[in-house]
Amino acid sequence: MKIGQQSQQELRRHLGWQGLRWSIGPFIIHLRAKVPNFPQFLHTFYGENLLLSPPWDDIADFHLTLHPPLGLRRFWRPKVHFRLDGNAFFTPFPLDHAPPLFEWGLNMAIASRSNHYLLFHAAVLEKNGNALMLPGTPGAGKSTLCAALMLRGFRLLSDEFGLYCPQQKRFLANPRPIGLKNESIDIIRAFDSQAILSQEFPNTRKGTVCYLQPSAESVHNAHNGATPTWIVFPSFQESQPTYLETLPQATSFLRLAANAFNYETMGATGFECVHAMIQSCSVMQLRFGRLEEALSQLHTLTQSTQPTVHT
C-alpha cells in the first residue's frame, strides 16, 4: 500500500500510535509524529512510497519522532522537536515548520549513519542507466539544476546525497522531495507550471524553503542504482556565459574527495572509490548564467552514452 493511498486521517492515526515505516532506496524509515499538518505533507510528497505493514521483519535504519513539547508550550508559540533514537539534535522549529525539520533531520540521520557508503554532497540523476552527479557547494545551483533535470525526464536518485556503494561501484537511489531555497523557488515555478510544490517555509536558517515532489518514476525505481558516468561541478554566475569544461584529473580527485562528507572516515576505501570514479567518469565544470543554457549543455553531454574516458 502506498502512502498516498491512505487517507490523511489514517496516516495521522498510525503516526500517532506505532508509527509508519516506509523505504526510501536502501533505507527504512520509522517515523512517529504528532504534528497537525504533517500527514498532509507526507501524503503529497511521499505519496508514491510503499508502506511497510506490520509485523515488520527487518530493522528500521532510522527511528524518528516529531513531537510538540509537553505542558504549556503546546499553546504558547508552539514548537516541534525532532528526535533520532530519542536524541534531540536540533533546536526545535515552530510547529508549522515540521516538514523542513523532518527533511533536515533525515539528512542528518543519513549523513551520520551511512559510513558504509561514500557520501557525496551532491545531486544525482540518471539517464539510460548512467548517473550524472552534480556536487554542490551552497549557492552553486545544484538543487535548481537537479529539479529542472528531473522535470525534464531525468530520474532523480537524490537531491542531497550521492550515495556511492563501494561494493557495487554504483550510486544508490534515495529519491525524496527536492528542497528549493529562496530565488530558486520562483525559477522552478516559472520553469514548469505543473511542478507540485509545497507551501513556502519562510525564515528558516537557510532562508525560505519549499519542497518539490519527486517524480513518480523516480520513486518507483528507487531500488535501482546507476553507474557513475558524468560528474559536473555546477557554478552559477548571474548573467555570465555558459560553458562546460573538462577538469584535469588531479583537480577532479581533490574536488571529489573534498566534496565527500566522510572521505576521511572511509580511509583507503574512500581513496579507491574516488580513484575509480575519476578513471571511469567525465569530470567537468559547468559555469552558467541561465538555467536553459545549462540544461541544453547537460542534455547534449548525456546524449552520448559512451562517456569520454581519460587515459
Partner 1 sequence: MNRPHPSPMLQVFQQPERFPELDAVSQDLVLRQSRRTHLLGRLEAILREKGLLDRLKPRVRNHLISARNLVREDRRMLTWEVNRVQRALWNTGLEIILLKGGAYVFLDLPMAQGRPVADLDILMEPKDFPLIEACMAQQGWEQAKLHPYDQRYYREWMHELPPLRHRVRMTELDIHHTIIPKTSRLQPDSHLFFSSAREISGHPGLKTLAPTDMVIHAAVHLFYDGDFDKGLRGLLDLDGLLSHWTLDATFWPQLLPRARVLNLIRPLYYALHFCHRLLGTPIPETILAEANADPQAPGMMARVIMNRLIARIMTPGNPDRLEFTSWLAWSLLYIRSHWLRMPPRMLISHLTQKGLRRWRFDVRNRRIV
138 binds partner 1 (CB under 8 A): no
By CB under 8 A, which span of 7-15, 45-53, 93-101, 245-253 interacts with partner 1? 93-101
- 17-50 exposure pattern, b = at least 16 Cβ within 10 A, e = fewer: eebbbbbbbbbbbbbbbebeebbebbbbbbbbbe
Site for partner 1 contains 71 (CB under 8 A): no
The least distance separating partner 1 from the CB of residue 198, rounded to whole angstroms, comes to 18
DSSP state of 81: E
The pattern of x and - marking residues 270 through 309 that bind partner 1 according to CB under 8 A reads ----------------------------------------
Q: 51 or 187, CB closer to partner 1?
A: 51
Select 42 or 266, whichever has its Cβ closest to partner 1. 266
Rounded Cα distance between 120 and 141, Å, is: 16
181 lies in the site for partner 1, by CB under 8 A: no
Phi, psi of 224 (to 5 degrees): -95, 130
- Give the range of 7-15, 84-92, 168-176, 293-301 binding partner 1 by CB under 8 A: 84-92
Confirm or reject binding of residue 81 to partner 1 (CB under 8 A): no
Residue 67 to residues 29, 78, 83, 85, 227, Cα–Cα distance (Å): 16, 11, 8, 13, 39
CA atoms within 13 A on the CB side of 153: 6
**Integer CA distances (angstroms), 29 to 81, 267, 292, in order:** 17, 28, 36
Pick the binder of partner 1 from 34, 37, 40, 60 (CB under 8 A): 60
Q: What is the smallest separation between the CB atom of 233 and partner 1, expressed in angstroms?
A: 25
Contact positions vs partner 1 (CB under 8 A): 26, 28, 32, 56-61, 63, 65, 83, 85-87, 91-94, 97, 113-116, 203-205, 262, 264-267, 269
